[in-house]
Amino acid sequence: MLIRTRIVAAAAGIWLCLPAFAQAESSEVSDFCRRVDVKLSSVGKRECVEYDLTHSGAYSNNDTPLFYRDFGPMDEKPRARVLLVGGIHGDEYSSTTIVFKWLKHLERHNHGEFQWRVVPVLNPDGLLRPPRMSQRMNANGVDLNRNFPSPDWETEAPRYWVERTRKNKRRYPGPAALSEPESRWLVEQLDSFKPDAVISIHAPHGIVDFDGPRVPPARLGPLDLRLLGTYPGSMGRYIGLHRGIPLLTVELESAFSMPTRDDMELIWDDTLVWIEQHVVLPRLAEEEKARSLAMQAEADAANDDEVKPALWP
């Protein structure tokens, strides 16, 4: 993680001294936010810069930095670690915009019990093309949501693309699993951040989808549960089914128009309730059961040592 260091003039409110690496990061954040401002009418450059995004050190195919923001307890154990990902498909504008809005909500109302890692735009190259030219795929023409290393990817993903999608360019899985830097970086986040749940934002089906263990929510705000199934190389098949991490997919109703403010808050609040009831509490129950079994095993072993049969003379 890059560390920003600055000396601020209290009176003038300007940077007097900024190390070269911090200047580079600041410039990349500013450029990224300028491009976001051009693309998304609901996210201005100043607002984007104020989110204090962290440069991950990773880049897209077109050398756009992949940014994230962390919230929550860093030193104490959180009740849950949650990875929130938007902008997997570049032409689903609302899936990025709503994550930016939730960043603001977390800044103001984060209760600190969950550890959040928020990725507003996983596919910046698909989103940040010239106006009216955003695309689902990344710069290599790969659908990132078909590029994850689900079991038998080498045979299943290409065959599905050819036979079921008729080589639909919008759903090209790529030449190999994790061929793309964006999908590789997200898998690295799974390994390092170790989320208890992943929330992925899409559009425009207007439903809630779910893959993996745990019980899915019946609804989130105005969105009802409807299971869409998984595909070779999809996040659902890889994260939810193969790795066993609950994957909650929020499918907004429109790729271009945002939900109302009330609906956004309802979706968020219902998501928090689901995390607590169906991620945190079941995990705590499993941990308590494991502790009880371990204590019982120790007690049984101690009893066995005390009641050893006497040896024959």
pLDDT digits (tens, 9 = 90+) for 201-225: 999 999 999 999 989 999 999 999 9
Per-residue confidence (pLDDT) for residue 309, from 0 to 100: 60
For residue 12, pLDDT beyond 50: no
- pLDDT band of 122, cuts 50, 70, 90: very high
Residue 233 DSSP symbol = T
Per-residue confidence (pLDDT) for residue 250, from 0 to 100: 98
- pLDDT band of 149, cuts 50, 70, 90: very high
Model pTM score: 0.87
Residues 77-98: tens digit of each pLDDT? 899 999 999 999 999 999 999 9
Mean pLDDT for 228-257 is 97
Per-residue confidence (pLDDT) for residue 3, from 0 to 100: 34
Nearest Cα to 114, choosing from 275, 301, 258, 256? 275
For residue 92, the tally of other CB atoms under 10 A from its CB is 25
- pLDDT band of 143, cuts 50, 70, 90: very high
For residue 47, pLDDT beyond 90: yes
Q: Map out the domains of the chain as residue ranges.
A: 16-136+180-290
In whole numbers, what is the pLDDT of the chain averaged over residues? 89
For domain 16-136+180-290, the CATH class is: alpha beta
115, 147 in Cβ contact below 8 A?
no
Q: Which helix (H) or strand (E) holds 299?
A: helix 281-306
